[in-house]
Chain A
Amino acid sequence: MAYFGNNPQRGELQELYADLNDLNFEKKKEAVKKVIAYMTVGKDVSDLFQSVIKCLEFNDIEMKKLIYLYIVNYSRQKPDDAIMVIQNFRKDVRKSENPLVRALAIRTFGCLRVPKLNEYLIEPLKDCIQDDDPYVRKTAVLCVPKVYEVSPEICPPLLEILQKLLEKESNALVLANLIQSMREIEVVSGKQIINLNQKIIQKLLLAVDECIEWGQIFILDYLATYNPQDSKQAEVIIERTLPRLSHINPTVTFCAVKVILKYLDFLDNGELVKNLCKKVAPSLISLLSWNQPEVQYTILRNISLILQKFPILFENDVKVFFCSFNEPYYIKYEKLDIMVRICDSKNFAQVLNELLIYLNEADPHFVRKTIKSIGKIAITYDKALDKAVSILVEFAKNIQSPTEPVQELLIQMQLIYKKSKQMYKHEDSLKVIYSIIDYANESESKSACAWIVGEFGEFIPKSVEKMKEYIDNFQMEDRLVQLQLLTSAVQLYLKYPSQCSALIQQLIVSAKDSFNPDVRDRTYIYWRLLSTDPEIVKNLVCFNSGTFSNFSKDLRLWETQDLVLALENMGSISNLFHKLPHQLYKNIKIKVNNQQEVKIYKGEEKPETQVKEQQDENQQNIQKEQQQDIDLLNFDDPPVNNNKNNNSNKTDLFELI
């Protein structure tokens, strides 16, 4: 049989037409198969519609399925022809004693998606929802959202039947599909369709034990969006969900984790919460070593959320996130990210030792990300600073070409020096870094180098010559580099006025007519200031700041108030991209989180949640301020307590101009 043949030429279509109308059954069947093959590769065979549906007369189930597939595909193009099939469907639904045939008919009927045909569908669909056979019932139940999508106006009576079924249905599989079907309608309509009561919840919990894995997922997923009335109810639901942690399907386990974590907030009993955490953690860890990397990836992407709300779960388990040599890189990236988040003032040495190994990996992106992670840890944890710098310096010693990791190394070293200027002494780091400065070839790393030359001019041999080299190439640089060069050159000028005066002249000449207004403006500001009062400039560009204590980075990914909602959606696509559903999907309504206070679950020794939260908040604000400074004028991060001083400088400056 030709599968990937050429286009169905006119002759071929005619041949098919002849075969379809042949009296020989086998010939007909082969022809139908051929038609489907053409359809698969995207060829238009809709012209054969009439001949194909005529083949329905035969009572052959395989052929019936193929013809139905064909009808579903072309019904929208040929609505008038599709009407002819309706009698067939109705006959199958009403008369066939075979439940599989009844289900097949109603399933396909629902897929036609032709509005004017749907009115013929309502009555048989009602019958099927109340069919004796659960297989037919579950198929019919899933048919309702199909109809709703195309003709919502004729659906209200169907919805009533569904709600009634929800109350009386006893088959677990039908129930699970019913819940999912109603949720689909809720998504399309934006209205709440499912009305829960105590009895239904009980039934759903029972059904979880009895139905197939997908059904369990539907029900658990749904329960995660429900808010229990009280601690007692939360406890019952958790209790019924716990066994699911041992299911072999990782998604069932994951959904169970989701439900349990969500309901923890509603429990009064602190001891119980702790015990539950102990049960959830190993289950989650097993999922992380699941042998399907794609599944692992989705779990990892969700861990950041879990980590933020439940640091207690992975307290002593940083090892779980160590990368394995043969893993796909998309997994390694996620693990790296998580390791930085999980790192704290106690386990940083362990993490850094591990990151050290990754510096040997072959993939430059991965090495780059590792260096960035080391930098992040250095900046976040004071205690880690020395060790991190040693690692980076050791890495720098072996550099022989302008690779990607080198760029990141320079950027991170700049940040580390900004945090603690004294670090330049550590293991001669400045000397080593200066030796690789010529390997910078990205604007950000170049600007970092310019900053280093300006800031440490007095410790660097031939710093003025280096600066001259940069300024000679000034026109070719990116805006970011140009801005930094201006500041750094001025800084150097203040350190070596006589040697640099020609240099500054040259710089001003090449920068004052820049097309970029930022560069131009900064040039003029420095120029005027230098010609009026160099002392003010000194205050502006040189700080003997010592160590910044507020440099700490905020590693949180989610806004604290979003945590509860995000948790409800754990495992979803939006969550995978670290967003709330309405941020990714325009048609989803913003859901408001009614819980006032977001609980964070930590281990025992750590300080009070509330205080820590506030600190975080403060740090974030401070960081924002700092960032503004960097963005606007690149004032080399004035220490916050100097703010007032700084402001007065600024006013002076304006008066002067």
Chain B
Amino acid sequence: MISSLSFINQKGEILIYRVYKDDISRSEITQFCAKMIATKENKESPIINIDQTSFIHISIKDIIILATTKTDVNVAMVLEFLYQLSKICKSYFQGILDENCIKKSFVLIYEILDEVLDYGIPQIADPNLLQKFIQEGGMQQEATISIDKFRSLTGTITGAVSWRPPGLHYDKNELYLDIIESVNLLISAKDTVLRAEVVGSIELKSKLTGMPECQIGMNDKLLMGKQARMTKQNGGIVIDDMKFHPCVGLPKFEKDRTITFIPPDGHFQLMSYRISENINIPFKVNVFYSEISENKLEIRLKIKSIYDKNVYGTNIAVKVPVPKNTVNVVSATGLGKAKHEIEEQSVIWRIKKLQGDVETSLRCEISLGATNRDQTWSKPPLKMEFQIPMFTSSGFRVRFLKVMEKGAYKTNKWIRYLTRGGDYLHRL
């Protein structure tokens, strides 16, 4: 399996280095750092093989986490493990993983590395669980914690419900649900939809007492088709694929498509889903580029929000690409503001709030400089970013969320929906 793990900065310096197997030498890593990372060649492929040694790495901002191996390991597993490791580190450092916090807390990281891999084989990689027995500044002295606590801890780690410790208590039992959808859209220059896809997720924050068993139900067509009492007009939507947090009982889902789970404590992603049928595209966009004169270009853009009138889109940003040699932009907008941003090579039109079923437009006059005139400008696609609360592009809805626990307490539940622009592109 994995022979060694290292944390490396952008200059190729090793910040953390932990060996799990004897078949790798530090000099191989330093060579790799000098050759590949310092020269940025590592950007060309995440897996590099040199003399039967495989270097597998991911980049988290400026930090590179590198695993090496000499055996024929499952690459996807190693990569996924590295990502989990980065998540673990972030959970200890308030969401940040940079050179400073690595240097400051290297003792802690070594402790983590000791626990997440054994002989290079992935072990516990659940941040919540690790925090139970690895803490910054060391655990409380052993004497003050009873041995029973440790026993119950190892029981949790190795048990079937490793994500939730027993004995939790809340005075107020609460559940927060966030349904977040990302719309990935690709529209050709001729206005045909090449690809429309929604990747969504349900994020849950649970503050529940005991060992509650929850069940969640959506307007999933396959499930609702089974329940005869549903009327036709309410037939549900086709969900291409769903992926669940380990806490969801998968065999049960496979059998009758019901989703039951014992939630971890706190915040987690319950599931992600993908839908490619009947996507409601939230905006209609029309763009016209016209050359007024040799060094003048006019762009006219119209967008129309095609969601319900009582829904509002927020933080809308339309990135309209302009040529490199743009000197000046004069723009007029119906709503919001447009600004030429040189680093982005585009005019960015921002609208704070846009009601449903509203049409608005942008007109830009672009003055071009004299350089590079002979090179034809290949337009990158127009990109849109936005957030639409209380709206789902796929029509996805949570129908119910039941909490069953011995205590039979009352649970307060809150639910929010949000759709945002993912890879939302119009080719020009």
| Residue B338 lies at the interface, judged by CB distance under 8 Å to chain A | no
Q: Tell whether, in the assembled complex, residue B22 and residue A289 are in contact, meaning their CB atoms are under 8 Å apart.
A: no
> Are A173 and B378 CB-contacts (below 8 A) given A251-B76, A286-B241, A573-B72?
no
**A201: Cβ under 8 A from any B Cβ:** no
* B186 neighbours in A (Cβ, 8 Å): 322, 324
Is B124 in the interface zone, CB < 8 Å from A?
Answer: yes
| A/B interface sample: 18 pairs, CB < 8 A | A36-B106, A36-B107, A65-B111, A177-B123, A212-B124, A217-B77, A248-B244, A248-B269, A282-B274, A285-B274, A292-B83, A294-B79, A329-B44, A330-B46, A571-B76, A572-B74, A573-B49, A574-B72
Complex Cα spacing A585 to B244, Å: 36
* Docked-complex contact A4 and B103, CB < 8 angstroms: yes
Q: Are B151 and A248 in contact (CB under 8 A)?
A: no
B residues with a Cβ closer than 8 A to A are 1, 14-17, 19, 21-22, 26, 30, 43-47, 49, 52, 54, 58, 69, 71-77, 79-81, 83, 103, 106-107, 110-111, 114, 118-119, 121-126, 133, 137-139, 141-142, 147, 150-151, 153-155, 157-158, 160, 162, 184, 186, 188, 194-195, 197, 199, 240-246, 248, 250-251, 253-254, 269, 271-272, 274, 374-376, 378-381, 383, 423, 425, 427
Q: Are A285 and B241 in contact (CB under 8 A)?
A: yes
Residues of chain B with a CB closer than 8 A to A248's CB: 243-246, 269, 271-272
Measured CB to CB, the closest approach of chain B to A574, in angstroms, equals: 5
Give every chain A residue within 8 A of B251 (Cβ-Cβ): 209, 240, 243
Stretch at the interface among A37-45, A115-123, A596-604: A37-45
Report chain A residues within 8 Å CB of B72.
569, 572-574, 581, 584-585, 588
Partner of A361, one of B160, B242, B378: B378
Among residues of B, the one whose C-beta sits closest to the C-beta of A286 is: B241
Q: Is the CB of A572 within 8 A of B73?
A: yes
Chain B residues with Cβ below 8 Å from A146 are: 119
Q: Tell me, yes or no, whether A524 is within 8 Å of chain B by CB.
A: no
Q: Determine which of A66, A217, A251, A328 lies in contact with B107 in the assembled complex, contact meaning CB atoms within 8 Å.
A: A66
Nearest first, the 3 closest Cβ-Cβ pairs linking A and B are A243-B250, A62-B138, A135-B154
The reply to whether A322 and B195 contact each other, CB–CB distance below 8 Å, is yes
Q: Judge whether A247 and B246 touch: CB under 8 Å.
A: yes
Residue of chain A at shortest CB distance from B47: A576
Interface residue from B44, B49, B114, B154 paired with A65 (Cβ < 8 Å): B114
B44 CB to nearest A CB, Å = 6
Q: Which of A139-180 contact B (CB under 8 A)?
A: 139, 142-143, 145-146, 149, 171-174, 177, 180
Q: B427 near A357 (CB under 8 angstroms)?
A: yes
Partner of B58, one of A142, A292, A299: A292
Enumerate chain A residues within 8 angstroms of B245, measured Cβ to Cβ. 248
Of the listed stretches A93-101, A263-271, A404-412, A559-567, chain B binds: A93-101
Is B80 a contact of A250 with CB atoms below 8 Å? Answer: yes
Q: Is the CB of B271 within 8 A of A62?
A: no
Complex Cα gap A441–B113 (Å): 52
CB-defined contacts of A181 to chain B, threshold 8 Å: 119, 121
**When A42-B26, A98-B142, A100-B153 are in contact, do A573 and B107 touch as well, CB less than 8 Å?**
no
Query: Is A319 at the interface (CB under 8 A from chain B)?
Result: yes
Taking the nearest CB of chain B, how far is it from the CB of A174, in angstroms? 7
Which residue of the partner chain B has the closest CB to A63?
B138
Cβ of A254 < 8 Å from any Cβ of B? yes
Contact partner, B17, options A40, A282, A294, A581, Cβ 8 Å: A40
Shortest Cβ distance from B276 into chain A, in angstroms?
9
| Residues of chain A within 8 A of B118, CB atoms compared | 107, 139, 142
Q: Given A99-B150, A209-B251, A573-B54, do A289 and B79 touch, yes or no (CB 8 Å)?
A: no
Asked if B58 and A324 make an inter-chain contact with CB atoms under 8 angstroms apart, the answer reads: no
Closest CB in chain B relative to A219 CB, distance in Å = 12
Contact between chains at B121 and A100 (CB < 8 Å): no
A354 to B47, CA, bound (A): 28
Question: Assuming A282-B241, A285-B241, is B77 touching A573 (CB within 8 A)?
Answer: no
A246 lies within 8 A of B243 (CB): yes
CB of A325 within 8 A of CB of B150, answer no
Residues of A within 8 Å of B123, CB to CB, are 138, 177, 214
Which B residues touch A442, using CB under 8 A? none
Tell me, yes or no, whether A249 is within 8 Å of chain B by CB. yes
Q: Does A3 contact B (CB under 8 A)?
A: yes
The smallest beta-carbon distance between A66 and chain B, in angstroms, is 7
Q: Across the interface, which residues of B come within 8 angstroms of A173, CB to CB?
A: 157-158, 162
Q: A40-B14, A209-B251, A324-B186 are in contact. Are A571 and B241 (CB under 8 A)?
A: no
**Are the CB atoms of A255 and B138 closer together than 8 Å?**
no
B83 touches A61 (CB 8 A): no
> A residues within 8 A CB of B248?
246
Indicate whether A184 reaches chain B with its CB closer than 8 angstroms: yes
Task: Tell me if A253 is interfacial: C-beta within 8 Å of chain B.
Answer: yes
Q: Is A213 an interface residue, CB under 8 A from the partner?
A: yes
User: Are A243 and B254 in touch, CB under 8 angstroms?
Assistant: yes
Across the interface, do A571 and B75 meet the contact criterion of CB distance under 8 Å?
A: yes
Interface core residue of B75, B151, B153 (most chain A CB under 10 Å): B75
The reply to whether B250 and A246 contact each other, CB–CB distance below 8 Å, is: yes
Decide: A246 near B253, CB < 8 A? Known: A3-B103, A62-B111, A98-B147.
Answer: yes
Write out, one digit per residue, whether chain A residues 282-300 have a CB within 8 A of any chain B CB (1) or not (0).
1101100100111101110
Q: In the bound complex, what is the Cα–Cα distance between A634 and B131 (angstroms)?
A: 69
CA distance A68 to B113 in the complex (A): 13
Which chain B residue shows the least CB distance to A138?
Answer: B158
B119 in complex: contacting residue of A37, A145, A577, CB < 8 Å: A145
Shortest CB distance A352–B (Å): 13
Chain A residues whose C-beta falls within 8 Å of the C-beta of B71 in the assembled complex: 187, 585
Complex Cα distance, B47 from A418, in Å, reads 38
Cβ proximity bits A574-612 to B, threshold 8 Å, 1 near / 0 not: 101100010011101000000000000000000000000
Interface set, chain A 526-557, CB cutoff 8 A to B? none
CA distance A72 to B119 in the complex (A): 12
| CA A360 to CA B427, docked complex, whole Å | 11
Known: A329-B44, A330-B46, A576-B75. 4 other contacts (CB 8 A): A212-B162, A214-B125, A326-B423, A354-B194
Complex Cα distance A133/B199, Å?
42
Q: A107-B118, A244-B250, A289-B274 are contacts. A573–B124 as well, Cβ < 8 Å?
A: no
Question: A177 near B121 (CB under 8 angstroms)?
Answer: yes
Q: For A293, what are the chain B residues with a Cβ–Cβ distance below 8 Å?
A: 46
CB < 8 Å neighbour of B47 from A59, A211, A243, A298: A298
The answer to whether the Cβ of A262 comes within 8 Å of any Cβ in the partner chain is no
Does A383 interact with chain B (Cβ within 8 Å)? no
- With both beta carbons as reference points, the residue of chain A lying nearest to B111 in the complex is identified as A65
Question: Could you say which residues of chain A place their CB within 8 Å of the CB of B155?
Answer: 134
Q: A135-B158, A298-B76, A330-B46 are in contact. Are A573 and B110 (CB under 8 A)?
A: no
Residues of A within 8 A of B188 (CB): 357
CB distance from A242 to the nearest CB of B (A): 5
Q: Which residue of A lies closest to B49 (CB)?
A: A577
Task: Tell me the smallest distance from the CB of A403 to a CB of chain B, in Å.
Answer: 11
CB-CB under 8 A from B69, the residues of chain A are 573
Task: Give chain B residues whose Cβ lies under 8 Å from the Cβ of A98.
Answer: 142, 147, 150
The CA-CA distance from A113 to B23 in the complex, in Å, is 12
Instruction: Determine whether the beta carbon of B243 is less than 8 Å from that of A247.
Output: yes
A-side contacts of B43, CB under 8 Å: 328
Cα A101 to Cα B82 in complex, Å, equals 26
Which residue of A187, A212, A297, A298 is within 8 Å of B126 (Cβ)?
A212
Query: Which residues on A sit within 8 Å (CB–CB) of B122?
Result: 214
User: Which residue in chain B gives the minimum CB-CB distance to A360?
Assistant: B378
A210-253 near B? 1/0 per residue, CB < 8 Å: 11111001100100000000000000000010111011111101
Contact of B253 among A61, A99, A243 (CB under 8 A): A243
- The answer to whether A272 has its CB under 8 Å from any CB of chain B is no
Report A-chain residues with C-beta under 8 Å of the C-beta of B22.
Answer: 113, 149
Given A98-B142, A246-B250, A248-B245, A214–B150 Cβ distance below 8 Å? Answer: no
Q: A6 at interface (Cβ–Cβ under 8 A)?
A: no
Chain A contacts for B21, CB-based, 8 A: 149
- How close is A169's CB to chain B, nearest CB, in angstroms? 11
Contact A286–B274 (Cβ < 8 Å):
yes
